[in-house]
Amino acid sequence: MINDQYYNRHIVISGIVIGVVLLFIIKLFFLQIIDQTTQESADNNALYHHTIYPSRGLIYDRHGELLVFNQPIYDVTIVMREMGRDFDTLGLCQLLAITQQDFNDRIATISNRRRNLGYSPYTPQILFSQLHKSDIAALSEELYRFPGIAIQKRTLRDYQYASAAHILGSVGEVNQNDIDRDPYYQSGDYAGRDGLERTYEKQLRGLKGDEVLMRDARGRIQGSYHEGEIDKPAIAGSDMTITIDIQLQLLAEKLLNGKIGSAVAIEPATGEVLAMVSNPAWDPKRLVGRERSANYNDLAQDETKPLMNRATQAMYSPGSTFKLLQSLVCLQEGGISPNTRYDCNGPETLPIKCTHHHGSPVDLGSAIEQSCNPYFWCAFRDMLQKNGYGDDNDIFRERYNLWRSDIMQFGLGQRFEDTDIAEQAAGCIPSESLFNRIYGRKGWKAITIRSLSIGQGEILVTPLQLANEAAIIANEGYYITPHLNKHDSLLVHRHETTIQPTYFRLVKEGMHRVMTNGTGRWHNIDSLQMCGKTGTVQNPHGEDHAIFIGFAPQDHPKIAVAVVVENCGFGATWAAPVATLMMEQYLLGTVKRVTKMEEYSKQILNSNVTQR
């Protein structure tokens, strides 16, 4: 009879053996079928994946003139695991014309997992980047001596003109946030950092290719794997045509040289931005290559703030240019009629004085032509008080909110959300709640906020918004969202105002009178039927800002312009010449004026107000 004690022990031992075998089978199944890590590790030892970087898309202006192209550049990469103990560090340094300390510093940086979060000793890491062909020529011939070292080709941006830096933007190395956000990127890749390069990054960057190479037991490249059957070619980025007219852009930049300010030009019928200048600016080549970081730091520390796009981010009181919108809203809401007249006693007028004496009483056309402050204060007051004040100012506040809503139809007090223009400021059209906080719910009336009537006080706008205001008046009541991509039509992004077209025609006629008889007459070209409005805006930090908005021709306008020049004085003296020269350049293809305008242009070109 079988001893029960030994029989049970046999069963236990057999169960353990079977269990161990099953564990091995399950583990092998997991490793070979489910978990591909082991296979990938083996493949990585036998194969080398060489990234092929695509050429970035080119950028052209609206007439097909090349603005941004590419130049070849090279990176030296290293796979730390493949270096070996007898790696010839000194020889590599001599071929690259660097010191051994430079090499050691780079190795330490690469190996620092805190600074290089994507580090792996098995994957290529950039040792030295953005080298020219002459820098790596000697290394190319003796690359076989340095296991783990490779040379990869890519491209860097180059520019036809030292112009439009704020529009075009720049390309720089990605950070860990970029890598975490988009798996397309790896450490050492480049991407658009600002401007159009960032907005259209996915379109411009293309798709990286992958060349699979075989390695021997010592890690040396032996050739293509399976004759390149699984290689993936790089796909170049898409080219891009933008709305900018580079000759108009260059002229505006030239005219604003030595000034702090901006200029924006828009094609009213399409919303296409023809020029967008912010000064001071920089040559876009400064943010390319190995000197990018140092140059960026210099720009960031510059007291004139060149990195700020004043065309879209700087905010100013609109001054007298706001009187055009005041006219339209007061007409629409019944504060005035086309025949309304108000008295003006010049600088003696109260509570808001006029800047000069002119005929009185004043109608709407003359008020725009002469920029009569008392007229627009009276119009604003009568619009707000049309139905009286009512209990606790309720009726007055309703009228104010109606006025504010009408003004914001012109794109003021808010960003353009449906556009490819980045980095915008919203500006400010003050709300009822703001004045309630300042004065109390019952503490403010029309006279309290009278400075709004002439575009001062709490109202703030950007030059882009001013140019769009001019485009709306030119279009007699609508605008297409301002944009920069020529092939991305935004004609469906049409924004209508509720103002009657008849009122726009009255304002347009007043703007034409500004250019023929008013403050813009010295800069007018009769044949172009210019319409405009100058503004001189109080500046608590220095001299007044000069502003001008306008368009041409009066009928079927082709260009709308806004110009702001900071800390210089009268809009008629400083901003109007820049704007009208831009109109002439765009409409005629050249600047032909050789009379007084030549003296004005010389004054603008040769003066410098950035030091004031």
Q: pLDDT digit string (tens) for 91-121?
A: 999 998 889 999 999 888 888 877 776 677 8
Tokens of 449: 């906020």
Total domains present in the chain: 2
C-alpha–C-alpha distance, residues 447 and 352, integer Å: 10
Q: Are residues 403 and 549 in the same domain?
A: yes
Convert the pLDDT of each residue in 550-596 to its tens digit. Answer: 999 999 999 999 999 998 777 778 899 999 999 999 999 888 775 54
For residue 41, name the pLDDT band (cuts at 50, 70, 90): very low
β-partners of residue 605 are: none
Residue 238 reports pLDDT greater than 90: yes
Q: Are residues 254 and 200 in the same domain?
A: no
pTM: 0.85
Residue 601 has pLDDT above 60, yes or no: no
Sequential DSSP letters for 562-593 = EEEETTS--HHHHHHHHHHHHHHHHHHSS---
Quickly state the pLDDT bin for 239 (edges 50, 70, 90). very high
Is 231 found in the same domain as 108?
yes
Q: Rounded to the nearest 10 degrees, what angle do helices 133-141 and 89-96 cross at?
A: 140
Residue given tokens 């900018």 in the structure block: 244
Query: Do the strands 59-60 and 240-241 form a parallel or antiparallel pair, or are they unpaired?
Result: parallel
Distances (CA, A) of 587 to 245, 301, 551, 553, 559: 12, 39, 11, 9, 8
Mean pLDDT over 251-274 rounds to 94
- Give me the CATH number covering residue 108: 3.90.1310.10
What CATH number does the domain containing 322 carry? 3.40.710.10
Residues 427, 363, single domain; the answer is yes
Residue 507 lies in a domain: yes
| Same domain assignment for residues 320 and 417 | yes
Residue 339 has what pLDDT?
A: 92
Q: Residue 219 pLDDT > 60, yes or no?
A: no
43 vs 563, higher pLDDT: 563
**287 and 225, same structural domain?**
no
Work out the number of other CB atoms within 10 angstroms of the CB of residue 345.
12
Q: Residue 330's domain spans which residues? A: 246-293+309-606
Q: Are 108 and 256 members of one domain?
A: no
Over 70: is that where the pLDDT of 132 sits? yes
For residues 141 and 88, membership in a common domain is answered with yes
Q: Is there a single domain that holds both residue 222 and residue 276?
A: no
In a domain, residue 5? The reply is no
Do residue 202 and residue 282 come from a single domain? no
pLDDT at 51: 81
Give me 71's structure tokens: 């130049």
Do both 164 and 186 map to the same domain?
Answer: yes
Q: Taking all residues of the chain, what is their mean pLDDT, rounded to a whole number?
A: 87
Greater confidence (311 vs 518) lies with: 311
pLDDT higher at 175 or 556 = 556
Q: Is residue 216 domain-shared with residue 251, that is, in the same domain?
A: no
